[in-house]
Structure 1
Amino acid sequence: MTPRTLYLRLAFAEVVTWTLLILGMVGKYAFGYDWATTVGGSIHGFVFLCYGAATVAVWTDKRWSPGIGVLGLASAVIPYATVPFERSVDRRGLLDRRWRLGPGGEQPHSFPERVLAFALRSPVVALIVTLIVVAAVFSLLLVAGKPTEWFS
């Protein structure tokens, strides 16, 4: 999968899960369905973490500036902002069709580039490790509770 395809799919998935979360909030606060935010929020949270991981991977591979990378991460926090961000970086040619650090690509220099190069050359292992890390972070966030409960 190319960086462009990965980023496009996850940007769209973020939009879909934002919609699920918002519908869940409507269900909870308008109709008393407390479970609705749990379902919508859980799905959105998982996709949010996946989008964040993909943003860091593309940022590293494409050598985005810190400003663009941070903006990419921030776009996941603002409802529906991931698609305009993805389209913007694509229009500017920042989502080339191939991975720079992929098989047969450039040699990595920094530690993040070496990690990403390994992931691109061993995609099954990388996918399993990424899913385990995302699931672990997701589980820790569930244990931490709802953000509204952190300060009460």
Structure 2
Amino acid sequence: MTPRRLFRTVAIAEAITWALLIAGMIVRSLGITPLGVRIGGGLHGFVFIAFVAVLIFVAGNQRWKPLTILLGLVSSIIPFATVVFDLVAERRGRLDGGWDTDSPGIVGRFRASAVAHPIRAALRALAAVTVIFAVMLIIGPPGSQ
């Protein structure tokens, strides 16, 4: 999987979960059920964390400037903007090329290991996102304090 494909997949997933959350909010506001917000919100929260992790991973590989990273992060809090960010990043060549597995240091070794063993890396990433998500659930939803 190329940096472009990984980033696009998670950007689209993030936009889909935005749609689920918004649909859940509409259903709740109509007095039908709050279940849609719980499900859509949970899925969106999980995929949001995954998007941020993938953004950082891909940004490091592609050597994005801090402003590009910041715009990518901002796109994750605006409904459907991750897809727009992905299209603009692709158009500007920010997602071109493959994985840089020759970088020195721990980051380079981490990336090389992830590329060499993608299933293991995906399982580790899934576990890390799950732990972060679980901690966030324990802390509580936004505005619950």
Q: Under TM normalisation by the shorter chain, which class is it?
A: over 0.9
Distance in 2 (CA, whole Å) between partners of 1:17 and 1:144 is 21
- Counterpart check, 1:127 vs 2:122: yes
The question of 1:147 aligning with 2:135 is answered no
Deviation sequence 1:64-103 (CA, Å, 0-9, x none): 01111121122111111101110111011110142122xx
Shift of 1:3: 0.9
TM-score (norm 2): 0.93
Aligned residues: 145
The aligned counterpart of 1:104 is none
**Structure 1 unpaired stretches of 5+:** 102-106
Distance in 2 between the 1:28 and 1:116 partners? Answer: 42
Q: What is the alpha-carbon distance in structure 2 between the residues aligned to residue 4 and residue 15 of structure 1? A: 16
Cα distance in 2 for residues equivalent to 1:149 and 1:54: 28
Are the aligned partners of 1:46 and 1:134 in contact in 2 as well (CA < 8 Å)? Answer: yes
8 Å Cα contact 1:3/1:95 also seen in 2: yes
CA distance in 1, matches of 2:32, 2:6: 37
RMSD (Å), alpha carbons: 1.4
Higher mean alpha-carbon deviation, 107-116 vs 125-134, is at 107-116
Corresponding residue of 2:133: 138
Structure 2 portions without partners, runs of 5+: none
Identity of aligned residues (%): 37
Does the CA-based 8 Å contact 1:60-1:113 persist in structure 2? Answer: no
